[in-house]
Every structure is written in C-alpha cells, then in structure tokens.
Structure 1
C-alpha cells in the first residue's frame, strides 16, 4: 500500500458517496426510498426474465431475507410490485413489477443512467 493507492481509494470512496447521495435525492424526489428503487431495479436485473425471488433480491441488496420480504411487502402496498407463485415450484414466490412499478423504474433508471455517465461507470465509458 502506497500513497498513490490511498489517493485512488479516497477518490473512489468520494465518488461512490457522491453517487449514493445523488441516487437518494432522485428516489426521494419521486416519493420512494433508495431501497425501493434498488428493489425495482433488481427485479428486472436477471437475464431472460422480468422477475426475481425474495432470496435473489436479498442477495442483490445484501440484506437479510426477512428484511427483504418486508421491503417487498412495502413495495406491494405502494402498488409497485406483486407476488406470484412460481408455476414450476409452488414453494417459491416470484416478485414482478406492476405497470406503476415499471413506470417508476424506467423514469428513475433514466436519471441514474445519466448519473452513471457523469462517473464513467457501468456503460463502459472511460476518461482520457
């Protein structure tokens, strides 16, 4: 570990915190929490499907399954998601976006995409 490494780590943490603060502002302006936005994003974040299980969402959110289930319930009460039994395994529950949830997600994701671009993350943009 040298001074250059510490400077790079400091710059990364600063950018990360700026991004998180801006993300909070975007979600809050829309009337939802950052965690609710992240849940909506992760529901659509799996290849070849538009749903996720509570366990998958917990992993993506790095949260406890029971806390994630409570978050899904809050999103369900807000009309953003709905639960459906998995047709292949009735013990599993799929979380799907409602039209309202999809609308929220698309609007907020567009704002976040512009924000990612400012940090040159996610979409392969590089400086210099």
Structure 2
C-alpha cells in the first residue's frame, strides 16, 4: 500500500579545514561591551585618584567625583527602600502576633466550654 521513499535530506556541510580556521582567526575581532570598559576605566580612575591625584586632569577628577556621587545617591535610595520594606515587615509581624493571640484566646475559650459540657 505505501512505498518507502528515500530521504531527501541534503548532507551536512563539510567541516572547515585548519587553513580556513587560521584565515578566519586573522579577521576575527573582539569587541568589548561598553559596560565592562566603563567599569574598568572607572576603577582605573579611582586608583589614579587615590595614588596620584595631582597628575589627574580636572575633567578626569570631576568624572570620578560624579560617578562616586551617583553611587552614593543610589545607595541612599536603596537604603530608603530597605527601610520601607523593614517597616512593612514589622507591621505584618504585629498583625500576625495579634491574630495568633486572638486564635489562642479562641481556642482556650472553646476548651473551657468543652470541659464544662463534659463535666456536666
């Protein structure tokens, strides 16, 4: 009823030779992402600022100062956020303790009622 047909898949491409790979290495270029160069340059600026501040240009000094100022502002923002979360957690803790106390009182009342019924 059904005939078997030959698969019509093309063969995979041949692997490159060593010469082709070496030729590709000559044209290969590595591009550093912008973020990593800024971090290393920032660290270099800070190191230069600490070791030899008199040799830094005014522009470089202000650049390091601005980066430091931004870090301080970010830290202050994070600190405020953490304080807000801490307050919320304390409020939740108080609410949970109040609910636990209410539950304990309810359980003790039920136990006393059960004892009264059993004793009668």
Specify if TM > 0.5: no
Q: Greater relative contact order: 1 or 2 (C-alpha under 8 angstroms, separation 6 or more)? A: 1
Q: Which has the larger radius of gyration?
A: 2
Normalized per residue, the structure richer in strand is 1
TM-score normalised by L of structure 2: 0.26
TM-score normalised by L of structure 1: 0.24
Normalized per residue, the structure richer in helix is 2
